[in-house]
Amino acid sequence: MVSDNVFDVIVIGGGSAGCVVAARLSEDPECRVLLLEAGPDPQPLPDMIADGTKGNSAILETDYTIMYPTKRDFDGSIYYPLAGRIMGGGSSVNMMGYVRPTQYDLDTWESLGNLGWSYENCLPYLIGMETDENFGHTPSHGNSGPINVTRRFSVDAPRSGMIEAVVDRAIEIGLPLTADTNIPNPPEGIGASISNVKDGLRQSMAVAYLDPARSRKNLTIIPDALVYNLKVAGHRIEEVSYMREGRLLHAFGDQFVLTAGVYHSPQILQLSGVGPSQELERLGINPLIDLPGVGKNYQDHANVTMTFEGPSADFQPEWIIPGFNLRYKSDSSLPNADFHIYMRAPILVEGLKPMMPVVLNLIENRNRGSITLASTNPNDLPVINDAMLTHPSDLSAMLNAMKFIENFILHDTLSEYYGRLILPNPTEDWSEFALSTYDSYHHGVGTCMMGPSSNDMAVVDPALKVYGLDNLFVGDASIMPTVTHANTNVAVIMIAERLATFLRK
């Protein structure tokens, strides 16, 4: 008889990556898989989350996200990167953006010593993951994968007045329309926002991957299970300890997979004695495996919001939810656009004209931050040092983008919909405005970096095995050496698909 707390593979973290790994490995009926998730597992998904039109509400109006208080370096003010704490993780609460990493991103990973991670090697996984409603018939897209992919905007479809004005303005300054931006290196210009939505409903990875696997007898799913630590014995992990319903429980496995995300995968490693020895000793943790890169290499996408005055009459808010984005290069020599720019829903205050936000997302992060333990208590959130906009080139890029948007918006073509610039004030110091108000695009990566053994800061090898441990793997956003020029969820799913393949071998 097999004990009910002994498994072949234990997956820690039921976000996008964890759902993928658990579902794929449990396809083998002889492989006993345990999936632990710190958050709840509501079934069916609540309407606020399931509705494919309510991305903002899912983030801001539910209890399924964690807010991580983070200090801006410039003035010590606080902002809050977010992560999902629910089965499906970020894919259950995000804006449903389904944006592939670029060829430049993945080829960069390989150039850093991660053999087998080039765009050419990863493309078959990107194709196999998706059923693309619009381009599934083309060679670079899939038509039979678990994730349904769709676009709400078409370059050929009729457009409302406001959208037509934005498109006209882009074309006027030489920015093209791109029907499909999930191509190797999408150009600057206007393109459709691509979403993992099917029949108007969110396709989280809990829905797309885990739901079809739930009936498998060899798959055990335990929600509301906060992992405390892993027991290290020599060069192997023997067990995981987790708290559920006030009881400290244990599970034993042959292989362990960390998919707890950019903030909690390094936290769990450090609580288990795996990480930078000096930092662990500072908190009284016995360093068992000295890995100085655990918690380092943190990167995210910074965003700054510019706010314009809106029209005074006959205002239709749906004009401003067009389903498209603007990709912009702050320097024409860059290989990829370094900004995603979105017109956002208006802010309506009685007695005032609508206020029209435009969000500028810098999709690079040249300096590197860190994630450190606040204490030895697993319930305490780790401390984030973001390093965003601290590199002069990042700040310069943001200022270039802000000036570009000011010139783009304040033009006769858009005067019917956008008025004067309110924030930042045209006369204030825009550097100080950016440094004191930037927020997160919620795309943190890099804190368990993948790299060759010659890189002292690498935490996992190109097969995603943790250095110094024979049976521990990491397969989430934390392994990315560099943040992608894209929303990160698609790259995370691809990483998890690849890890499942590695483990099956």
Within-domain flag for 123: no
Of 59-68, 282-291, 313-322, 457-466, the range with the lowest mean pLDDT is 313-322
Compute the distance between CA of residue 35 and CA of residue 87 in angstroms, rounded to an integer. Answer: 10
Shared domain for 187 and 245, answered yes or no, is no
Share of the chain above pLDDT 90, in %: 85
Within-domain flag for 146: no
Shared domain for 13 and 55, answered yes or no, is yes
Compute the distance between CA of residue 90 and CA of residue 98 in angstroms, rounded to an integer. Answer: 12
Within-domain flag for 121: no
How does DSSP classify residue 175? P
Dihedral, 125, 129, 132, 137 alpha carbons, nearest 10: 50
The CATH number given to whatever domain includes residue 304 is: 3.30.560.10
pLDDT tens, position by position, 122-146: 999 999 999 999 999 999 999 999 9
Please list, in sequence order, all residues whose beta carbon lies within 8 angstroms of the beta carbon of residue 204, skipping any fewer than 6 positions away.
16, 19, 45, 49, 88, 91, 92, 196
Compute the distance between CA of residue 392 and CA of residue 340 in angstroms, rounded to an integer. Answer: 20
Within-domain flag for 141: no
Within-domain flag for 118: no
Compute the distance between CA of residue 476 and CA of residue 11 in angstroms, rounded to an integer. Answer: 11
Q: Tell which of 440, 455, 487 closes a domain.
A: 440
What's the CA angle centered on 119, arms 87 and 98, to 5 degrees?
Answer: 35
**Mean per-residue pLDDT for 321-350?**
89
Shared domain for 418 and 340, answered yes or no, is yes
Please list, in sequence order, all residues whose beta carbon lies within 8 angstroms of the beta carbon of residue 392, skipping any fewer than 6 positions away.
none
pLDDT band at 311 (very low <50, low <70, confident <90, very high): confident
Q: Which residues in 484-498 are b (16+ Cβ under 10 Å) and which e?
A: bbbbbbbbbbbbbbb
Q: Which residue has the higher pLDDT, 447 or 2?
A: 447
The answer to whether residue 183 scores a pLDDT higher than 90 is: yes
Within-domain flag for 246: yes
- Can you read off the two tokens belonging to residue 98? 């389904």
Q: Are strands 247-258 and 6-12 parallel, antiparallel or unpaired?
A: parallel
Compute the distance between CA of residue 4 and CA of residue 114 in angstroms, rounded to an integer. Answer: 37
The SS3 of residue 461 is coil
Compute the distance between CA of residue 373 and CA of residue 381 in angstroms, rounded to an integer. Answer: 8
The CATH number given to whatever domain includes residue 278 is: 3.50.50.60
The answer to whether residue 429 scores a pLDDT higher than 90 is: yes
| Residue closest to 195 by CA, chosen among 11, 60, 321, 43 | 321
**Mean per-residue pLDDT for 234-249?**
98
**Mean per-residue pLDDT for 70-93?**
97
Shared domain for 210 and 248, answered yes or no, is yes
Compute the distance between CA of residue 428 and CA of residue 408 in angstroms, rounded to an integer. Answer: 20
The SS3 of residue 195 is strand
Within-domain flag for 317: yes
Shared domain for 185 and 309, answered yes or no, is yes
Which structural domain range is residue 234 located in? 6-99+202-298+444-503
Question: What pLDDT is recorded for position 1?
Answer: 37
Question: What pLDDT is recorded for position 58?
Answer: 61
Question: What pLDDT is recorded for position 162?
Answer: 81
Shared domain for 304 and 160, answered yes or no, is yes
Query: How many CB atoms are closer than 10 A to CB 79?
Result: 17
CB 339 within 8 A of CB 327: yes
| Residue closest to 12 by CA, chosen among 69, 66, 89 | 89
Shared domain for 194 and 316, answered yes or no, is yes
Question: What pLDDT is recorded for position 317?
Answer: 54
C-alpha distance from residue 194 to each of 100, 180, 479, 497 (Å): 10, 9, 24, 20
Compute the distance between CA of residue 132 and CA of residue 154 in angstroms, rounded to an integer. Answer: 14
Compute the distance between CA of residue 431 and CA of residue 308 in angstroms, rounded to an integer. Answer: 18
Shared domain for 256 and 371, answered yes or no, is no
Q: Tell which of 422, 440, 458 closes a domain.
A: 440
| Residue closest to 236 by CA, chosen among 251, 254, 249 | 254
**Mean per-residue pLDDT for 389-414?**
98
Share of the chain above pLDDT 70, in %: 95
C-alpha distance from residue 259 to each of 206, 332, 376, 495 (Å): 14, 37, 20, 10
Compute the distance between CA of residue 377 and CA of residue 428 in angstroms, rounded to an integer. Answer: 43
For the entire predicted model, the pTM comes to 0.97
Shared domain for 435 and 316, answered yes or no, is yes
Q: Which residue has the higher pLDDT, 259 or 153?
A: 259
Strand partners, 132: 149
Shared domain for 376 and 303, answered yes or no, is yes
| Residue closest to 337 by CA, chosen among 201, 470, 134, 188 | 188
**Mean per-residue pLDDT for 249-260?**
98
Query: What's the chain's average pLDDT?
Result: 94
Compute the distance between CA of residue 209 and CA of residue 19 in angstroms, rounded to an integer. Answer: 6
Handedness of CA 167, 170, 173, 176 (dihedral sign): negative
The values of phi and psi at residue 209, to 5°, are -110, -50
Shared domain for 256 and 315, answered yes or no, is no
Question: What pLDDT is recorded for position 318?
Answer: 53
pLDDT tens, position by position, 22-60: 999 999 999 999 999 999 999 988 898 999 887 665 666
The count of structural domains within the chain is 2
Query: How many CB atoms are closer than 10 A to CB 126?
Result: 22
Of 46-50, 428-432, 453-457, 461-465, the range with the lowest mean pLDDT is 46-50
Element of type H or E holding 488: none
Please list, in sequence order, all residues whose beta carbon lies within 8 angstroms of the beta carbon of residue 453, skipping any fewer than 6 positions away.
461, 467
How does DSSP classify residue 505? -
Q: Which residues in 191-211 are b (16+ Cβ under 10 Å) and which e?
A: bbbbbbbbeebbbbbbbbbbb
Compute the distance between CA of residue 165 and CA of residue 160 in angstroms, rounded to an integer. Answer: 9
The answer to whether residue 293 scores a pLDDT higher than 70 is: yes
Within-domain flag for 407: yes
Shared domain for 166 and 184, answered yes or no, is yes
Compute the distance between CA of residue 240 and CA of residue 249 in angstroms, rounded to an integer. Answer: 8
Question: What pLDDT is recorded for position 481?
Answer: 99
